[in-house]
């Protein structure tokens, strides 16, 4: 596969770049962003933190709002931010234009139901196709960590937990922790995965964490998040970790909401967390 340069901006001595490529898995053109720290210009290869964004977002939100490049430059870590869903002419979308299904709302699963199955293979895209591109075209090592926000927090947790050999650490902000029991998850899973509730369970972080594991996980959740009770359900994740003895560090942050102001406040701690485990 080849990649096409979209834009390039110098940032904290490194480079923020955007690229487009034709995805064989998603059957459409995709865009992603990558931040390369200054040490790359010295011929060094660096580990990668993959960031998965939430509902309605693209590859641009995190890179423009979180302020993560400064600390990534200091730590010598690359950041990679993919889009949140396939896009383009012919890609299925919710017929009513809902924000929580279809474009911008891929939920990081492999859809099995029509009309979604042809394009919505976001799980495999994040786990295999995108890392293959990154490791082919950029000076990165085989060390990876994964993080995300909201729907992307769900994606980071589930993908990391299901692939313990690929990631050294996992973190999340305001993740959808128990999607099989919340409206967002039930709507998306019902559309993408159909009526097979066993398939739903394989993409629920609380279910997966209850099975145990050893990859370090850091989660920050704002106590003033307006989605806290109905959609995010961090207590389910905490209970799962307690039942299995999972090494989860779940931090409830007083006064913080669901916004990128919250992410910007704690992103440095998350990147340092990942750097410690590379």
Would you name the residues annotated as active-site residues? 150, 225, 258
CA distance 273 to 278: 9
Token pair listed for 132: 């293959």
Q: Is 176 helix (H, G, I), strand (E, B) or coil?
A: coil
Give the Cβ contact number of residue 199 at 10 Å.
Answer: 15
**Strand partners of residue 250:** 219
Residues 6+ apart with CB under 8 A from 155: 52, 107, 108, 122, 126, 148
- Number of H helices and E strands in the chain, helices first, is 10, 9
In whole angstroms, how far apart are CA 102 and each of 27, 147, 182, 190?
15, 22, 18, 12
3-state secondary structure of 41: helix
Residue 24 has phi, psi (to 5 degrees) of -70, -30
* Distances in whole angstroms, Cα of residue 227 to Cα of each of 93, 124, 126, 221, 232: 24, 28, 25, 11, 6
Q: Classify 224 as helix, strand or coil.
A: coil
């Amino acid at each position: 596969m080849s990649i096409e340069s979209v834009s390039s901006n110098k940032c904290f001595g490194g480079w923020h770049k955007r690229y487009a490529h034709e995805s064989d898995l998603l059957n459409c053109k995709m865009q992603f962003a990558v931040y390369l720290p200054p040490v790359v210009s010295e011929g060094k290869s660096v580990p990668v933190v993959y960031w998965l964004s939430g509902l309605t977002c693209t590859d641009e939100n995190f890179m423009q709002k979180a302020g993560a490049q400064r600390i990534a430059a200091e730590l010598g870590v690359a950041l990679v931010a993919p889009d949140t869903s396939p896009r383009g002419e012919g890609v299925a979308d919710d017929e009513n234009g809902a924000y929580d299904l279809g474009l911008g709302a891929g939920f990081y699963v492999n859809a099995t139901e029509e009309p979604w199955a042809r394009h919505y293979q976001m799980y495999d895209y994040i786990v295999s196709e995108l890392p293959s591109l990154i490791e082919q075209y950029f000076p990165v090592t085989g060390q990876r960590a994964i993080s995300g926000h909201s729907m992307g927090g769900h994606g980071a947790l589930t993908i990391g937990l299901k692939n313990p050999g690929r990631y050294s650490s996992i973190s999340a902000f305001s993740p959808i922790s128990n999607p099989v029991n919340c409206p967002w998850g039930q709507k998306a899973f019902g559309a993408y995965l159909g009526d097979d509730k066993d398939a739903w369970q394989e993409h629920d972080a609380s279910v997966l964490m209850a099975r145990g594991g050893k990859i370090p996980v850091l989660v920050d959740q704002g106590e003033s998040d307006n989605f806290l009770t109905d959609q995010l359900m961090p207590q389910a994740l905490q209970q799962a970790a307690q039942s299995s003895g999972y090494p989860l560090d779940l931090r409830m942050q007083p006064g913080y909401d669901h916004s990128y102001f919250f992410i910007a406040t704690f992103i440095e701690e998350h990147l340092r967390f990942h750097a410690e485990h590379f």
